[in-house]
Protein backbone atom coordinates (compact mmCIF):
# COMPACT_ATOMS: atom_id res chain seq x y z
CA UNK A 1 0.00 0.00 0.00
CA UNK A 2 2.91 2.32 0.80
CA UNK A 3 4.19 1.84 -2.75
CA UNK A 4 0.85 2.92 -4.23
CA UNK A 5 0.89 6.02 -2.03
CA UNK A 6 4.41 6.86 -3.14
CA UNK A 7 3.50 6.25 -6.80
CA UNK A 8 0.38 8.40 -6.47
CA UNK A 9 2.24 11.25 -4.82
CA UNK A 10 5.03 11.16 -7.43
CA UNK A 11 2.41 11.20 -10.21
CA UNK A 12 0.44 14.18 -8.94
CA UNK A 13 3.56 15.78 -7.44
CA UNK A 14 5.48 16.09 -10.68
CA UNK A 15 2.50 16.42 -13.03
CA UNK A 16 2.97 20.18 -13.35
CA UNK A 17 6.55 19.70 -14.57
CA UNK A 18 5.62 19.10 -18.27
CA UNK A 19 3.35 22.18 -18.15
CA UNK A 20 6.18 24.28 -16.68
CA UNK A 21 8.59 23.07 -19.40
CA UNK A 22 6.02 23.76 -22.15
CA UNK A 23 5.37 27.34 -20.97
CA UNK A 24 9.10 28.01 -20.52
CA UNK A 25 10.06 26.55 -23.92
CA UNK A 26 7.25 28.05 -26.00
CA UNK A 27 7.18 31.31 -24.02
CA UNK A 28 3.39 31.17 -24.33
CA UNK A 29 0.76 30.66 -21.62
CA UNK A 30 -2.33 31.87 -23.40
CA UNK A 31 -4.59 28.94 -22.56
CA UNK A 32 -3.13 28.21 -19.12
CA UNK A 33 -5.72 29.07 -16.45
CA UNK A 34 -4.31 31.20 -13.61
CA UNK A 35 -7.41 30.57 -11.43
CA UNK A 36 -6.58 26.84 -11.76
CA UNK A 37 -3.04 27.45 -10.51
CA UNK A 38 -4.31 29.57 -7.61
CA UNK A 39 -7.00 27.12 -6.47
CA UNK A 40 -4.51 24.26 -6.86
CA UNK A 41 -1.88 26.19 -4.86
CA UNK A 42 -4.32 26.76 -1.99
CA UNK A 43 -5.22 23.06 -2.01
CA UNK A 44 -1.55 22.05 -2.01
CA UNK A 45 -0.79 24.31 0.97
CA UNK A 46 -3.61 22.63 2.90
CA UNK A 47 -2.35 19.15 1.89
CA UNK A 48 1.11 20.04 3.27
CA UNK A 49 -0.47 21.18 6.55
CA UNK A 50 -2.60 17.99 6.60
CA UNK A 51 0.51 15.89 5.98
CA UNK A 52 2.40 17.65 8.81
CA UNK A 53 -0.49 17.06 11.22
CA UNK A 54 -0.66 13.39 10.18
CA UNK A 55 3.17 13.16 10.10
CA UNK A 56 2.80 11.56 6.65
CA UNK A 57 6.01 12.32 4.71
CA UNK A 58 4.54 11.07 1.42
CA UNK A 59 1.82 13.73 1.52
CA UNK A 60 4.20 16.45 2.74
CA UNK A 61 6.95 16.01 0.16
CA UNK A 62 4.78 15.37 -2.91
CA UNK A 63 2.59 18.39 -2.26
CA UNK A 64 5.54 20.64 -1.36
CA UNK A 65 7.21 19.73 -4.67
CA UNK A 66 3.95 20.43 -6.47
CA UNK A 67 3.67 23.80 -4.71
CA UNK A 68 7.10 24.83 -6.01
CA UNK A 69 6.32 23.67 -9.57
CA UNK A 70 2.95 25.43 -9.31
CA UNK A 71 4.53 28.72 -8.21
CA UNK A 72 7.13 28.58 -11.02
CA UNK A 73 4.41 27.80 -13.60
CA UNK A 74 2.28 30.68 -12.33
CA UNK A 75 5.16 33.19 -12.41
CA UNK A 76 6.13 32.20 -15.97
CA UNK A 77 2.50 32.17 -17.12
CA UNK A 78 1.93 35.69 -15.77
CA UNK A 79 5.16 36.84 -17.44
CA UNK A 80 4.24 35.43 -20.87
CA UNK A 81 0.58 36.42 -20.64
CA UNK A 82 1.67 40.07 -20.32
CA UNK A 83 3.57 40.01 -23.62
CA UNK B 1 -7.53 18.09 11.17
CA UNK B 2 -10.40 16.48 9.23
CA UNK B 3 -11.50 19.95 8.09
CA UNK B 4 -8.03 20.70 6.68
CA UNK B 5 -8.08 17.40 4.81
CA UNK B 6 -11.48 18.19 3.35
CA UNK B 7 -10.36 21.71 2.42
CA UNK B 8 -7.19 20.37 0.81
CA UNK B 9 -9.05 17.75 -1.18
CA UNK B 10 -11.66 20.26 -2.38
CA UNK B 11 -8.87 22.65 -3.43
CA UNK B 12 -6.88 20.15 -5.46
CA UNK B 13 -10.01 18.23 -6.47
CA UNK B 14 -11.72 21.12 -8.24
CA UNK B 15 -8.60 22.99 -9.34
CA UNK B 16 -8.89 21.69 -12.91
CA UNK B 17 -12.39 23.13 -13.22
CA UNK B 18 -11.27 26.69 -14.18
CA UNK B 19 -8.88 25.19 -16.79
CA UNK B 20 -11.71 23.08 -18.23
CA UNK B 21 -13.99 26.14 -18.43
CA UNK B 22 -11.22 28.23 -20.07
CA UNK B 23 -10.51 25.62 -22.76
CA UNK B 24 -14.23 25.08 -23.40
CA UNK B 25 -15.04 28.82 -23.58
CA UNK B 26 -12.04 29.95 -25.65
CA UNK B 27 -11.97 26.77 -27.76
CA UNK B 28 -8.15 26.96 -27.50
CA UNK B 29 -5.73 24.62 -25.74
CA UNK B 30 -2.49 25.58 -27.39
CA UNK B 31 -0.41 25.99 -24.25
CA UNK B 32 -2.11 23.24 -22.22
CA UNK B 33 0.33 20.36 -21.71
CA UNK B 34 -1.16 16.95 -22.53
CA UNK B 35 1.77 15.13 -20.83
CA UNK B 36 0.80 17.04 -17.66
CA UNK B 37 -2.78 15.79 -17.90
CA UNK B 38 -1.60 12.21 -18.53
CA UNK B 39 0.91 12.12 -15.65
CA UNK B 40 -1.67 13.78 -13.39
CA UNK B 41 -4.34 11.26 -14.45
CA UNK B 42 -2.06 8.33 -13.59
CA UNK B 43 -1.31 9.89 -10.20
CA UNK B 44 -5.01 10.46 -9.51
CA UNK B 45 -5.88 6.83 -10.33
CA UNK B 46 -3.23 5.70 -7.84
CA UNK B 47 -4.58 8.14 -5.20
CA UNK B 48 -8.08 6.65 -5.63
CA UNK B 49 -6.65 3.12 -5.19
CA UNK B 50 -4.66 4.37 -2.15
CA UNK B 51 -7.81 5.93 -0.69
CA UNK B 52 -9.80 2.71 -1.21
CA UNK B 53 -7.08 0.66 0.53
CA UNK B 54 -7.00 3.16 3.40
CA UNK B 55 -10.82 3.48 3.34
CA UNK B 56 -10.32 7.27 3.34
CA UNK B 57 -13.36 8.81 1.64
CA UNK B 58 -11.73 12.27 1.47
CA UNK B 59 -8.93 10.94 -0.71
CA UNK B 60 -11.27 8.77 -2.82
CA UNK B 61 -13.88 11.40 -3.67
CA UNK B 62 -11.55 14.36 -4.26
CA UNK B 63 -9.28 12.41 -6.58
CA UNK B 64 -12.18 10.74 -8.41
CA UNK B 65 -13.68 14.20 -9.10
CA UNK B 66 -10.29 15.40 -10.28
CA UNK B 67 -9.98 12.36 -12.57
CA UNK B 68 -13.29 13.23 -14.26
CA UNK B 69 -12.33 16.91 -14.68
CA UNK B 70 -8.92 15.80 -15.94
CA UNK B 71 -10.43 13.46 -18.55
CA UNK B 72 -12.84 16.17 -19.78
CA UNK B 73 -10.01 18.73 -19.99
CA UNK B 74 -7.84 16.25 -21.93
CA UNK B 75 -10.62 15.38 -24.41
CA UNK B 76 -11.40 19.06 -25.08
CA UNK B 77 -7.71 19.97 -25.30
CA UNK B 78 -7.08 17.23 -27.89
CA UNK B 79 -10.14 18.38 -29.84
CA UNK B 80 -9.08 22.05 -29.95
CA UNK B 81 -5.39 21.27 -30.52
CA UNK B 82 -6.36 19.48 -33.77
CA UNK B 83 -8.05 22.59 -35.20
Residue-wise pLDDT tens digits, A7-60 = 988 898 899 999 999 999 999 998 899 999 999 999 999 999 998 998 988 889
Maximum C-alpha span of chain B: 47
A3 vs B: CB within 8 A: no
Q: Which residues have C-beta within 8 Å of that of residue A9, sequence separation ≥ 6?
A: A58, A59, A61, A62, A63, B43, B47
Asked if residue B34 lies in contact with residue B67, where contact means CB atoms within 8 angstroms, the answer is no
Asked if residue B9 lies in contact with residue B61, where contact means CB atoms within 8 angstroms, the answer is yes
B50 vs A: CB within 8 A: yes
**pLDDT per residue over B59-80, tens digit each?**
899 899 999 999 999 999 999 9
Is residue B83 pLDDT above 80, yes or no? no
CATH 3.30.310.50 applies to domain B2-82: no
Residues of A in contact with B29 (CB under 8 A): 31
**Continuous H helices in B27-56:** 34-54
Is residue A1 pLDDT above 80, yes or no? no
Cβ neighbours, 10 Å, residue A3: 9
Amino acid sequence: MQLIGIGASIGTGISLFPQLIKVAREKKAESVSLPMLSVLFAGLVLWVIYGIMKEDWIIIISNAVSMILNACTAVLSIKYKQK
